[in-house]
Chains A and B, each alone.
Chain A
Amino acid sequence: MTHRFPIGARVSVSSSFPPGHVRTPFFVRGKTGIVTEVAGEFPNPEELAYGRDGLPARTLFRVTFLQQDLWPDYAGGAGDTTVVDIFEHWLQEADASEGAAGKGERAHV
């Protein structure tokens, strides 16, 4: 199956803050990571939450972030990571300059 983002793709999470039920944590919005796995196709939780069927299903990607890209003051190992499951409509292809330790856009705090 072909997906919008292949494994290894560098992706940015939308820096978007809509009201309502979403499953994209605040701490990754606006951040850049790498698609490390395709988790599958699932009905859209943002629709399911309001009693609709969530179809067509969306692709859920597992995106790996370097901790240093998430937290400028991260004190642990340089290779430490967090993996978050993110639906395709929250992701866009990242500029080559984004992410990879310290260069990621800071989320609005």
Chain B
Amino acid sequence: MRRHHDMGGLDAGPVEQNEHDYAPWEKRVDAILRLLSAPGRRMITVDELRRGIEELGPGAYDEMSYYERWIASVTNNLVEKGTLTVEELGRKMAEVEARWDADRAAHKNSQEERAQ
């Protein structure tokens, strides 16, 4: 009856007081949500974001990082609303991946050149 995100009162170990500096892509996820939820645009509400995260299922908290859950939820919401289509996402993601692979290869090459 208790949903997995609803954690108050559960047993857990010590609070691990670790933190990390947020990576650019994580801030980008945050920025996208802020823009889409801003008054004036209101394309997604914070409660839609939260619902989307809850619907990722119990494994999401163990398998995904915080902003991974966010972008997964934002993306699902945008598809549900018709703002983005699955087809567009598939195409664009393949394109991004190919570009980053190429960029990485080029970056590595130039570093090797510089090292010589």
- CB of A51 within 8 A of CB of B50, answer no
Say yes or no: A21-B51 contact (C-beta < 8 A), given A26-B2, A48-B45, A49-B45.
Answer: yes
Q: Considering only CB atoms and an 8 Å cut-off, how many residues of chain B contact the other chain?
A: 15
**Which residues of chain A are near B47, meaning CB under 8 Å?**
21, 45-46, 48-49, 54
CA distance A58 to B85 in the complex (A): 34
Q: Which of B10-60 contact A (CB under 8 A)?
A: 45-48, 50-51, 54
Q: Mark A19-39, 1 if CB is under 8 A from B, else 0.
A: 011000111000000000000
In whole angstroms, how far apart are the Cα atoms of A34 and B56 in the complex? Answer: 34
Do A49 and B48 contact each other (CB < 8 Å), given the known contacts A21-B54, A108-B1? Answer: yes
A interface vs B, CB < 8 Å?
A: 17, 20-21, 25-27, 45-46, 48-51, 54, 70-71, 108
